[in-house]
Every structure is written in structure tokens, then in C-alpha cells.
Amino acid sequence: MALQKTLSLLLLLLLTLLGLGLVQPSYGETMYERFLRQHVDSTGTGGTNLYCNTMMQKRGMTSRGCKDFNTFIHENIGTIISICNTPNIQCKNGKMNCHAGIVRVTDCRYTRSSSSPYYSDRAIMGGDQPPICNYQATASTRRVVIACEGNPLVPVHFDS
């Protein structure tokens, strides 16, 4: 009985930490590493639908379904981190840890999923293949808002 109570308390603690965002379940990444994976491509120029289709899959954003929208920043990490040193502004969630800067980006907007014959056959056979996601790319230089945390400050969330 005591063991069951202890396990219940440990489960409750884990769920609380997950809810607070203090434990990172995906890929064992920190929030900074996740930001880099999802939003930074300093060597690419982007701008094409093929770029978005490839990068969204390569960076793991289509494995459980097609992510509706994502932005890739085409600047070196030093430039992105320097945005964290601009004045604080309010984030969409109301926190005051966001910062704005102007950077080169490719916005990838989900348009549709398609199925290849291989995907259909795997689905019929009980396979668990991810969908083939298609994206529309828009390249631009624009204002972005990122949330930063830590000491020193690093980007942890793309706000807009």
C-alpha cells in the first residue's frame, strides 16, 4: 500500500513538472535546442515549396501529423541571440520575455497531405507511416518576435 502511494505521488510530481514545462519530453531537448531545430537554418536560403516540404520532414515536424505553420530563420545564431538583447516586449501569452528583430525568413504554410501508394499500402497493412505533408513557402525579410530565457539569454520560443 505504501509503495502504491509513493508511485502515485511520483506520477503526480512528473505530471506537474511536465505541465510547468520544466521537463522536456520531446527528443530530450532543451527549449533552446528545440528552437534551433524548429526555426534556425543559417546555411539555407529557403524560399521554395520543396525547401519547406524537405525541412519540415527533416526537422521532425511532420512525424505525428502536418504542422500548420512554421518559420525558418536564415541568420547565424549570433544574430538571432542578439535579438534577445533588445528591449523586452509582451509575448502572446502575456509574459514580458519577448524581443523583436528583423531577419531573413522562410514561412512554411501547410496546404494539404497526399498519400503515395506505399503509404496507402502500409496503412492497409496496419503500418504507421507519417503523412506526406505539402507546404507553401514565402521568403521575406521581416520582423519576428522570439521569447528568450536563461543567463545568458537564448531564444526558446518563436512567438510571431
- What is the reported pTM? 0.74
pLDDT digits (tens, 9 = 90+) for 15-31: 444 443 444 455 599 99
Residue 44: all three cell numbers together: 539555407
- How far is residue 87 CA from its own chain's centroid? 24
The answer to whether 99 is a known catalytic residue is: no
In percent, the amount of the chain with pLDDT more than 70 equals: 72
Domains of the chain are: 32-158 (3.10.130.10)
Instruction: Report pLDDT for 153.
Output: 96
Q: Which helix (H) or strand (E) holds 75?
A: none
Each residue's pLDDT tens digit, 41-81: 998 889 999 999 999 999 999 988 999 999 999 999 999 99
Q: Identify which of 71, 50, 72, 27 has the alpha carbon closest to the alpha carbon of residue 133.
A: 50
Average pLDDT taken over every residue of the chain: 82
The catalytic position among 71, 73, 157, 158 is 157
- In degrees rounded to 5, what are phi and psi of residue 159? -90, -40
Burial of 130 from C-beta contacts in 10 A (0-12 / 13-18 / 19+): middle
What whole-number distance in Å separates Cα of residue 71 and Cα of residue 35? 11
Are the C-beta atoms of 54 and 84 separated by less than 8 Å? no
127-136 residue pLDDT tens: 566 678 999 9
Q: d(Cα 142, Cα 103) in Å, to the nearest integer?
A: 6
Q: Which residue among the candidates 35, 36, 38, 39 is catalytic per the annotation?
A: 39
Residue 74 annotated in active site: no
